[in-house]
Structures are given as C-alpha cells and as structure tokens.
C-alpha cells in the first residue's frame, strides 16, 4: 500500500524482529509496508482487543493503559523495535511508551508534510478519527508543515467500522464509502481538495473504495511507507535473529473476538497468542470530548 508521493524503493537487507501494534486491524497496513521494505525482518502483530475500540475511551484511560500494554507485549514477543501503528495512541502516549520500554519505539504521524508538498490547489483534506482531529498534536503538525494551506478536517468512526468490515471479508455497499467521506468534500472549500491525508491506519485498507467514490480525481496518501523506513533506521546494530514471523498477540482471548483471528490469518499472521493484561480502572471510560 505505497504512498502516492514517489520515493526510491529498494528492499532493505536488514534483519531483526519488529512488533507492530494497534487497537484493532488498522495497523496491518503498516505491517504490510514494513514487510515490503524489510523482507528479511521478522514481523509480528499485536492488537489491544481487550480495550478495543480506542475511539470510545478517554484520553486518561488510554494514557494509563498504553505503557502497561506495550510493556507486556514486548516482554512476550521480544522485538528489537516496537511500532505504534495508531495515530490515537501515538498522539496521546508516545513518550510514555518510550519511557516504559528499553527498545526503539516508532510512532505514527499523519502525512501532512508530504501532502503540503503534493497539493497543487493548496487545499488538503484530512480523514481521521474524531480523537485525532481534535487533538492539539494534529493542530501543531498543520501549523508547522501546512502553513499557508487550507486543511479541511473530517473525523469518521463510521469509516473505521467500514474498514474493519472490509478486512473481515464482508460485502460493504460502495455507497457507504461515499457517504463516509462526503462531509469533507461538502465542507466550505472542499471543492478545492486535491490531496487527502489518511490519518488513521485503518483507512488504507479501503483506499481503492475511497478513490472510486471521491467526487473527482484526488490523491490519497498515508504514512505507512515512512513508518517502514523509520523502522529500518532505528534497528539496533545487534538484533534478534530474523525469520518468517507471523505471530499475532491479542489482549483478549481469541475465541471472544469478533472475527479478528480470521482477518489476521488472511493478512499473514496465522499464529495467535493471548497476552493477559491485569484489569485496570477506567477500562471503558468514555471520552469527555465529543
């Protein structure tokens, strides 16, 4: 699932173990990019299914949980690099996770900088979850990298659900994708959008459907390839031995999940491991913000 912005691509000979983490299946798009760039890497995948979805949890609950979950998953998988393939988790607790682990941690940043370089109209759309849209971190990225550009933000939990359904192999009406992204194009200035940032790792799963239902030709870009390159850069000189990988770690028993095991196997993670996390307070606390 490559970026729209061209870049020199040559598979890396790097070896080592990488653990890609998300709340659900969205991070599989990042895992695919890492596997493409580093075919000799051992890539494992972890999903915090015991706390999914992150979209209905408070910021306080997530900040408390993420370092604990990350430490437990790293102890189970023993990776050389931990990749947070989730904008929500990265914008909230990247530094806290780094402080809890003794290995490099790569976060996810919306691809606002390359979008600002790519746009010809000066108007960029940003598709994300409502949580990513409202956070000051996103506003700072726009101020730093897209000064002078118009950025139209649209937060959609519905598009997350559509991407999850698509990953499970469900037949989703194409009109649903059109409806999910329509508010962005219908907003003031939306008719000038020529570049859209997919600021949720779920969304590249349905890039083709978004392209097909856009009102006109639009470039959709994400940060998956950039994350893959950064993962290769931060690999330590001495790493764990490489191999095929394919283990997935879940924080909820696999037989209690809603089809995620089937999805993980479809995307090349056939071995399922349950990692128990001690119960925490605020495990279902709704966000205080809309």
| C-alpha distances out from residue 174 to 109, 166, 180, 255, 266, Å | 28, 11, 10, 30, 22
Asked if residues 126 and 153 have their Cβ atoms less than 8 Å apart, the reply is yes
Is-catalytic flag, 231? no
Q: Which of 28, 73, 81, 200 is catalytic?
A: 200
126 torsion bin: left (phi>0), alpha (psi -120 to 50), beta (else)? beta
Q: Which of 41, 84, 86, 152 is catalytic?
A: 86
Please calculate the CA angle 34-35-36 and round it to the nearest 5 degrees. Answer: 90
Between the two ends of the chain, the Cα-to-Cα distance in Å is 31
Is-catalytic flag, 21? no
Q: Which two tokens stand for residue 262?
A: 């089937």
Of the candidates 122, 123, 114, which has an alpha carbon nearest to the alpha carbon of residue 187?
A: 123
* Three-class secondary structure of residue 121 per DSSP: coil
DSSP letter for each residue of 148-162? TSEEEEEE-HHHHHH
Q: Which two tokens stand for residue 138?
A: 């996103």
Whether residue 69 has a cis bond before it, omega within 30° of 0: no
Q: What residues are annotated to the active site?
A: 86, 200
């Amino acid at each position: 699932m490559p970026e729209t912005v061209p870049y020199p691509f040559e598979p890396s000979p790097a070896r080592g173990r990488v653990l890609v983490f998300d709340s659900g299946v969205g991070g599989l798009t990042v895992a695919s990019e890492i596997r493409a760039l580093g075919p000799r890497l051992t890539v494992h995948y972890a999903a915090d299914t015991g706390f999914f979805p992150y979209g209905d949890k408070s910021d306080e609950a997530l900040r408390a949980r993420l370092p604990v979950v990350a430490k437990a998953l790293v102890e189970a998988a023993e990776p050389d690099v931990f990749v947070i393939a989730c904008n929500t988790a990265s914008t909230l607790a990247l530094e806290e996770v780094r402080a809890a682990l003794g290995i490099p941690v790569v976060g996810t940043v919306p691809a606002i900088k390359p979008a600002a370089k790519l746009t010809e109209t000066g108007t960029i759309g940003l598709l994300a979850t409502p949580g990513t849209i409202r956070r000051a971190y996103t506003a700072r990225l726009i101020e730093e990298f897209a000064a002078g550009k118009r950025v139209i933000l649209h937060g959609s939990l519905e598009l997350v659900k559509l991407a999850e359904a698509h990953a499970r192999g469900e037949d989703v009406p194409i009109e649903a994708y059109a409806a999910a992204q329509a508010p962005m194009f219908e907003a003031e200035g939306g008719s000038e959008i020529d570049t859209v940032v997919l600021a949720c790792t779920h969304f590249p799963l349905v890039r083709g459907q978004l392209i097909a239902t856009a009102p006109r030709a639009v470039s959709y870009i994400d940060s998956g390839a950039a994350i893959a390159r950064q993962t290769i850069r931060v690999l330590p000189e001495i790493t764990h031995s490489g191999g095929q990988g394919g283990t997935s770690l879940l924080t909820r028993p696999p037989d209690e999940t809603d089809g995620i095991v089937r999805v993980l196997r479809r995307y090349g993670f056939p071995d399922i491991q349950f990692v128990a996390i001690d119960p925490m307070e605020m495990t279902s606390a709704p966000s205080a913000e809309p």
